[in-house]
Amino acid sequence: GENVEQHPSTLSVQEGDSAVIKCTYSDSASNYFPWYKQELGKRPQLIIDIRSNVGEKKDQRIAVTLNKTAKHFSLHITETQPEDSAVYFCAASSSSYKLIFGSGTRLLVRP
C-alpha cells in the first residue's frame, strides 16, 4: 500500500541556521503533498503544501520542493527561530482520498 517515509526523526539546529526535512512516497499516483506543524499539546496545522504540477513553492522562510521522478519532497526552513521548534509531518495524497503521513520530525531550535 501507500507509504511515506520521513527523515530525520529528530533535528537540532542553532537559531538562524537552516533546517531540511526529507520525505519519500511510494504511490506514483500521489499528487498533493502537505506539510503540517504540531506544537506541543496542540493539533497539527498546515504550514505549506505543493501539488504535483509544481516543483517548488515558497512562503517567507518556508519552502517545499518536489521531485516527482524520484518521489521525493522536502521542507526547507531558513533563518530558524525558537518558535519553529515543533514536530513536523509530511503527507501524501492521491485520488483515492487517502491522506498518508510520515513518522514525523522533531525539530529543536537552540537559542
Partner 1 sequence: DVKVTQSSRYLVKRTGEKVFLECVQDMDHENMFWYRQDPGLGLRLIYFSYDVKMKEKGDIPEGYSVSREKKERFSLILESASTNQTSMYLCASRTPPENTEAFFGQGTRLTVV
Of residues 31, 68, 76, 108, which one binds partner 1 by CB under 8 A?
31
C-alpha cell at 48: 505549506
Cα 35 from Cα 89, distance rounded (Å):
6
Q: State the minimum distance, in angstroms, from the CB of residue 80 to partner 1.
A: 22
Tell me how far, at minimum, the Cβ of 36 lies from partner 1, in Å.
8
85 binds partner 1 (CB under 8 A): no
- Does 97 bind partner 1 (CB under 8 A)? Our answer is yes
Does 98 bind partner 1 (CB under 8 A)? Our answer is yes
> Contact between 28 and partner 1 (CB under 8 A)?
no
**How far is it, in rounded angstroms, from Cα 83 to Cα 98?**
31
Chain centroid to Cα 49, Å, comes to: 8
The two most distant CA atoms of the chain are separated, in Å, by: 43
Residue 54 interacting with partner 1 (CB under 8 A)? no
Give yes or no for residue 100 binding partner 1 (CB under 8 A). Answer: yes
Q: Is 65 helix (H, G, I), strand (E, B) or coil?
A: strand
